[in-house]
Structure 1
Amino acid sequence: MDNIGVQSGKPTFIEEISQCQDKTTLFGHSVNVVGRLTVHDVGTCLAKLSDSQSKSEICIDTSLIEPFEARFGSLFNMIGELEVGNQNDIVLKARVVRCVDGLDLSLYRKAIESQRKYLELRNAV
């Protein structure tokens, strides 16, 4: 029997989503992103997370997580699925949100990159 259920969200950097050449390949993927909250509109259930290192940002559909304590400039970890937005752009429909202020972003990036290398080596055997 197939294990069908909610995906855990693959750790993904915002720039990997925003700089993807063929964004249609990303639709439906479950991802886990971390970024600074720069925009939040409760009325439209839209927000934006940005990555200061790569200067990239991603639009977030917050309809499933409202209300949440949105503090502009705070770091947030969001898990959800990538969908097509109104302007044919890519939007993360968040289903999990948590504030991760205090997270060392450079260490987080190194940890994710190390995990990817390990998984790549393990799966190559």
Structure 2
Amino acid sequence: MPKWIDYKRMAKERGALALELYIVNTVPAGPDADVPGTLPDHLAYQAKMEQQGKLAFAGPVSDFSGEDLNGEGMIIYRAASLEEARSFAEEDPMHKSGVRTFTIRRWLINEGSFTLSVGLSGQRVELA
């Protein structure tokens, strides 16, 4: 099995995008975790990270049935390294206060697409 860096190089050589991002899976630290009490600080941190271009996407994740929330979330960072992305996650007020715990992994985006629609006169933006 190739090392990450070797696979990334091979992906680039074959013409894939090979955009490396970082996925943070975040979960409440326990049933008594004060997630709501930390939410305002967490959202302010997320907004700051987004403004700095470091936050690609973030939001809750459903349970495996797809019908319910179970408190899990996902954050996708743009960072220069896994270590930098880890520091972003560690500084999130949810993690820093111990209300939530996280795991982090590298994600190499090779394929896919999205559509961005901007309506200037109606000040409308849609991402699909």
Is the TM value for this pair above 0.5? no
Q: TM-score, normalised by structure 1?
A: 0.24
Q: Looking at secondary structure, tell me which structure has more helix per residue.
A: 2
**Which gives a bigger RCO, structure 1 or 2 (Cα 8 Å, sep 6+)?**
2
- TM-score using structure 2 length: 0.24
